[in-house]
Structure 1
Amino acid sequence: MEAWVLDTCMSSMLPYWEQGWHLVTNPNGLVARIFKAKYFPNDSFLSAKLGASPSFVWRSVLAAQHILRQGLGRRVGDGNSVQILNEPWLPSIDNPYVSTESTDIEGHTVSMLMAPNERKWDEDLVKHLFTQRDVNLILATPLSDNIEDSWYWRKEKSGNFSVKTAEAESTSHVLLDCSFARCCWEIVEVSTDDTPHTSFTEWALNVFDKWDATKRQIGAMLCWTIWNCRNNLIWNQKSTEVQEAVYSARMVLSQWKEAQDRFFDKSWGLLNPDDGDELWSPPNENKTKINTDAAVFEASNRYSFAFAARNHKGELIEARSSCKEGCITPECAEAMGIREALSWIKDEQLKDVVVETDCLVAVQAIRGREAMSSYFGILIQDCRNLLKEVKNKGVYLKFVKRSANNLAHAFASCSYSVADRIWRTNEVSQDIIHVLEQDLK
């Protein structure tokens, strides 16, 4: 049988995606200055053209430009170097650009939209200048002290670019559209043309919903095998025949099914042995437990976050909630809730406190050491800094299941229209009292 191999174009593109990233984020570097002087002296890399007598390297780097345009974003610090118009600074995956058309904002930087001498939005000015869509996104953009304007990669929660994140842009080609992948799917009697798609994720969601369990398993394993074949070609220069790839997928699937009958430990990255409680339990005597949660109300373009502090008897000490306007990702709202709880602990000078949240992404990010350049990363860094400040006072962050976080969830959910509120035992509703009682059963 003829040996079909994966298209090799991606193997030559990988280093240039990364090089393009460095041209944007490190414009003062030696390589960036050389390219700029020759190919785009009066523009940025993102608006550069091929130019006259381009070298092979420049052609390759420029070919990756459209990939970078799709994922690059501007993270606002002081806003002095970020233009309001024509820069991707809004926290939106679909369209990070301001859509409002107004001469009042032309030529101005984002710093114009902040309150004088403060790192917070001038809400009245924002609402006066922008359409509702832009207002929601601007007010949902986190601001933090001592953060500079910078670039980040919008395709990752961390905001950090890697070759792997850029590769995701071509996942559909590798797994579905290239000749090698098409032949693999034909052998298992799947036509990739039957389901229209603009991305691999869209295709997978559509077909997996229609397939039975057996077909889902071989489909997932075949995707994994095709990707491995692609890596083997790029990194080891070894091609794979279609029949061999499909046989390998079926063999690995068989071995995986066998392994499911044996006991093995699951490893959760950056989690501790006491993480994952399914039921709430009171803290030890003379200690405090604080639960945090958030809620996103998409229909009204609002979000809220809350925390509730209780003593060793399960009695409510204090709860605080805040509801704000804007479109925000759930993990950002959750991180805001954690930050608010840690700030309260610091202000109240509390000791021996356990802070619990059901947001696994936030806990892993806070415990990790990776520098994060996204808006989510700003909030995570604030949480890290606050934890360092109260660490010697016995403050500890813990992940719990949703079922162990009912009280904080109730406070966040009922804060739909109240900007900021402080709750104490004699001020809560019967629904909240019921949750307090249930947690003690």
Structure 2
Amino acid sequence: MARVLKGKYFADRDFLGAELGSNPSYTWRSIWEAKDVILLGARRRIGDGWSTKVWLDPWIPNTQSRRVLSPRHHNNASMKVADLMTNDRTSWDDELLRGMFLPFEQDRIKAIRICDAQAVDDWCWDHTKDGQYSVKTAYHLLTGGEDAAEQSDWARSKWMWKVEVRAERVREWVEGVLREGSEEERMVFSLTCWAIWECRNAAIFEGRGRFCEVVTRRVYDMLREINDTLGGRKGVGEAASSTRNARSVELDVGLGGREGGSAGGGRWRRPGEGVVKINTDAGVIEGVGTGLGVVARTHGDSFAWAVTMQERLTFDVKRAEAEAIFLGMKEVRSRGHTRIIVESDCWSVIKDLQDKKKGRADIFRIYDDILSLCNSFISLVFSFVRRESNCVAHLVAHSSPWIVGRRFWSDEAPQHIVEAISNDINNMI
């Protein structure tokens, strides 16, 4: 049945981009009507950016609506996300973003990772950890879930209909509503009108109606997004070295045998001959940014090199830790080493890499890049270590002063890092 429906109604596109058609069957109409429910939590996951439209598709993560709220002005309606990248497709075009988007949207866009591996845009579900759609989360999303009470405070409000305004025309009535309502009520009214107009256009020009719940949810999401933006970011900064575990695990993903081992207890362990060991860590400080730290050592050298990359953007903890691993592996590969041990104190990332875990959440884009790098090495071990065995990488990630960009040390490290390395040597296994 699925193949028949796809061949007839959306042979050249995915389901979420399908149209109702001129003479739809009862089965197809019933399935198609549920598309708006899926779109409540679906988002385009950016790969190369060529199949996602900037102004029409939901693609901005960590926002309520996932769509662009900035005014389009004279920009091309069919503009693709790839057009927002630099010519070499390695970063976002900062100047272009500043000229087109609101500040908070600029930050969200620049936080989207541009993949190293070849990847195309696809759909993900924002309400599960692995990005895969589930009926359970869709039900909670549609019924309001934990936000149901908050949503009902305004969604069922009838204040605007009780405004005592003698109006012979709709314009006068609207002016009366905007004049009599509070600031929040005026905002809700304006967003509701916008959502109704958007629904009207979808019905007339695309032939698809929407459930009332979908329209009210759209208004609610936009309202929360605006309130979050006006209220600023909340939370206290914390180091990204969370999700600790006392266990130790190795993962050999290369072509050779197992190398080295995981650090025991709270002490660092010297790698075997011919092996480079890199310790990685990340620090996320709210209001400051994200720092990545990598330190490399060999069997004969207490210190080979270290590198830090500090950003103004704040990543989530798991992404930051994975980015630190990716940074370290790229640095090692650029120096021609083929036998390495990668140590991190983030158990969840190490475990995911061990399982070669797949999914549609954004974190899996980083995992794909990391695992594709594994082919560059003859032998590679991922190893979880306790925080005490990873102190040097932690200091590198939090290097002061905080300078946006990349810093590299090969001959002589800063004094506080040298002292931490000496402490590792003195307590070495």
Q: TM-score, structure 2 length as denominator?
A: 0.63
Residue pairs, 1:200-279, within 5 angstroms: 277-279=264-266
1:331 equivalenced with 2:303 (yes/no):
no
Q: 1:168 is matched with which residue: 129, 137, 141?
A: 137
Q: Which position in structure 2 is the counterpart of 1:345?
A: 332
Q: Which position in structure 2 is the counterpart of 1:153?
A: 125
For the 8 Å contact 2:281–2:293, the answer to whether it is kept is: yes
Q: Which position in structure 2 is the counterpart of 1:86?
A: 56
Q: Which position in structure 1 is the counterpart of 2:189?
A: none
Q: Which position in structure 1 is the counterpart of 2:103?
A: 132
Residue pairs, 1:58-73, within 5 angstroms: 58-59=29-30, 61-62=31-32, 64-73=34-43
How far, CA to CA, are the matches of 1:88 and 1:325 in structure 2? 25
Question: How many matched pairs?
Answer: 319
1:429 equivalenced with 2:415 (yes/no):
yes
Q: Which position in structure 1 is the counterpart of 2:283?
A: 295
How far, CA to CA, are the matches of 1:42 and 1:396 in structure 2? 41
How far, CA to CA, are the matches of 1:435 and 1:30 in structure 2? 64
1:374 equivalenced with 2:348 (yes/no):
no
- In 2 relative to 1, CA 290–44 (structure 1 residues): closer, same or farther, beyond 3 Å? closer
CA RMSD of aligned residues (A): 3.9
Q: 1:97 is matched with which residue: 50, 57, 67?
A: 67
Offset, 1:314:
6.9
How far, CA to CA, are the matches of 2:142 and 2:71 in structure 1? 37
For the 8 Å contact 1:158–1:373, the answer to whether it is kept is: yes
Q: Between the two proteins, what is the percent identity of the paired residues?
A: 20
For the 8 Å contact 1:284–1:312, the answer to whether it is kept is: yes
Q: Which position in structure 1 is the counterpart of 2:192?
A: none
Offset, 1:402:
2.6
For the 8 Å contact 1:82–1:149, the answer to whether it is kept is: yes
Q: Which position in structure 2 is the counterpart of 1:114?
A: 85
Offset, 1:335:
1.6
Q: Which position in structure 2 is the counterpart of 1:3?
A: none
Secondary structure at 1:322's aligned position in 2? strand
Question: Unaligned stretches of 5+ in structure 2?
Answer: 150-244, 252-257
1:282 equivalenced with 2:269 (yes/no):
yes
Say which is worse superposed, 315-324 or 82-91, in terms of deviation.
82-91
- In 2 relative to 1, CA 417–166 (structure 1 residues): closer, same or farther, beyond 3 Å? farther
- In 2 relative to 1, CA 119–351 (structure 1 residues): closer, same or farther, beyond 3 Å? closer
Offset, 1:71:
2.5
Secondary structure at 2:56's aligned position in 1? coil
Which amino acid is the alignment partner of residue 57 of structure 2? E
Which amino acid is the alignment partner of residue 331 of structure 1? K
How far, CA to CA, are the matches of 1:277 and 1:269 in structure 2? 8
For the 8 Å contact 1:138–1:326, the answer to whether it is kept is: no
For the 8 Å contact 1:84–1:106, the answer to whether it is kept is: no
Secondary structure at 2:296's aligned position in 1? strand
How far, CA to CA, are the matches of 1:172 and 1:65 in structure 2? 14
Secondary structure at 1:321's aligned position in 2? strand
1:402 equivalenced with 2:376 (yes/no):
no
